Amino acid sequence: MAYAISDACIKCGACEAECPVSAITEGEATYVIDADACISCGSCEAACPVGAPAEA
């Protein structure tokens, strides 16, 4: 199951830098994960200081 980023996102960019498949991009209010590209590795969840990414 792909990950998604919640509204808790503070737009620090830590998750984007850790994604091995470049599935994360900066959106208007939060970073966004492309569910079709996400491989559910959990790297974004581990890198996030506020726990915004979670399995959807």
Based on the number of CB atoms within 10 Å of its own CB, is 11 exposed (0-12), middle (13-18) or buried (19 or more)? middle
Q: How many domains in the chain?
A: 1
* Domain extent at residue 23: 3-55
Tell the residue number behind the tokens 């503070």, with chain if given: 10
Residues 6+ apart with CB under 8 A from 32: 5, 24, 25, 26
Q: Which of 56, 55, 52, 54 is nearest to 11 (CA)?
A: 52
Q: What is the CATH number of the domain that holds 25?
A: 3.30.70.20
* pLDDT band per the 50, 70, 90 thresholds, residue 24: very high
Q: What is the structure's pLDDT at 23?
A: 98
Which residues are registered as beta bridge partners of 4? 54
Mind listing the pLDDT tens digit for each residue in 33-49?
Answer: 999 999 999 999 999 99
